[in-house]
A and B are shown apart, each in its own frame.
Chain A
Amino acid sequence: AQSVTQLDSQVPVFEEAPVELRCNYSSSVSVYLFWYVQYPNQGLQLLLKYLSGSTLVKGINGFEAEFNKSQTSFHLRKPSVHISDTAEYFCAVSGRGAQKLVFGQGTRLTINP
């Protein structure tokens, strides 16, 4: 079985500052990893995903994430945030061959002007 832990429930940052949202996972098999974003009162949309290959994955809106197998982490980063990045961010993992996508608890990113 897989599990995901998002280490911060809330992250406040100032506009134009860098941000890192942390995600650790647990799995006994190889995994696929995802970051989804949920804007207020909306559904989730995919930011980026790691399937294989390069450990640095680039996504939409300037976000990127790095897969670190030894530390079982998949942290999300953005070098300079904007007010419009205010949202809740979910890390998710699927074991290869598994039928389920397991989500973390979410990190609420708040951007202050």
Chain B
Amino acid sequence: NAGVTQTPKFQVLKTGQSMTLQCAQDMNHNSMYWYRQDPGMGLRLIYYSASEGTTDKGEVPNGYNVSRLNKREFSLRLESAAPSQTSVYFCASSESGITSGNTIYFGEGSWLTVV
């Protein structure tokens, strides 16, 4: 079972460059999420998609855009990378929204460094 797959696993960017993190899930889940993890700060929600065709901002959306390409795929784009975006990024999915207490399943993470 692949679960949640995200690419790339590691990336180094120069300030001002753009890139897209790709995410796909094979569990037929409706909801998908992008989190970032920084030391001492836990995980913070960047954007989420409660269902195909919808996206909403989370706690820290500035500097990011997302696309829910279809039910399986949810990408995160950094238009003009900044050193403050150096972080570990996690894609996740759940059967439906968190409102019902559904479990969120995480990918293995993407380590992004902006120099």
Q: A106 vs B98: C-alpha distance in the bound complex, in angstroms?
A: 20
B69 at the interface (CB under 8 A from A): no
Contact B109 A42 (CB under 8 A): yes
B13 at the interface (CB under 8 A from A): no
Choice from A32, A34, A90 contacting B42 with Cβ under 8 Å: A90
* Complex interface residues of chain A between 21 and 75 (CB less than 8 A to chain B): 32, 34, 36, 41-46, 49, 51
A94 at the interface (CB under 8 A from B): yes
B40 at the interface (CB under 8 A from A): yes
Q: A97 vs B98: C-alpha distance in the bound complex, in angstroms?
A: 8
A101 at the interface (CB under 8 A from B): yes
Q: A90 vs B37: C-alpha distance in the bound complex, in angstroms?
A: 12
Produce 1/0 per residue, B41-74, CB < 8 A to A. 1111100101000001011000000000000000
B interface residues, how many (CB within 8 angstroms):
25
Q: A104 vs B106: C-alpha distance in the bound complex, in angstroms?
A: 16
Contact B103 A99 (CB under 8 A): no
Q: A98 vs B102: C-alpha distance in the bound complex, in angstroms?
A: 12
State the Cβ distance, B56 to closest chain A Cβ, in Å: 7
Contacts A43-B106, A90-B43, A105-B42: A49 and B58 contacting too (C-beta < 8 A)? no
Contacts A44-B90, A90-B42, A106-B42: A101 and B106 contacting too (C-beta < 8 A)? no
Q: Chain A residues with Cβ under 8 A from B109's Cβ? A: 41-43
State the Cβ distance, A80 to closest chain B Cβ, in Å: 26
Contact A99 B101 (CB under 8 A): no
A-B contact pairs, 9 of them (CB 8 A): A32-B98, A44-B106, A46-B103, A49-B101, A49-B103, A51-B101, A96-B99, A99-B97, A99-B99
Q: Which B positions have Cβ atoms within 8 angstroms of A?
A: 4, 40-45, 48, 50, 56, 58-59, 90, 92, 97-99, 101, 103-109
Besides A43-B90, A43-B107, A100-B45, 15 other CB < 8 A contacts?
A: A32-B101, A36-B106, A41-B108, A41-B109, A43-B4, A44-B43, A44-B90, A46-B103, A46-B105, A49-B101, A100-B98, A103-B44, A104-B42, A105-B40, A105-B42
Q: Which A positions have Cβ atoms within 8 angstroms of B?
A: 4, 9, 32, 34, 36, 41-46, 49, 51, 90, 94, 96-101, 103-106
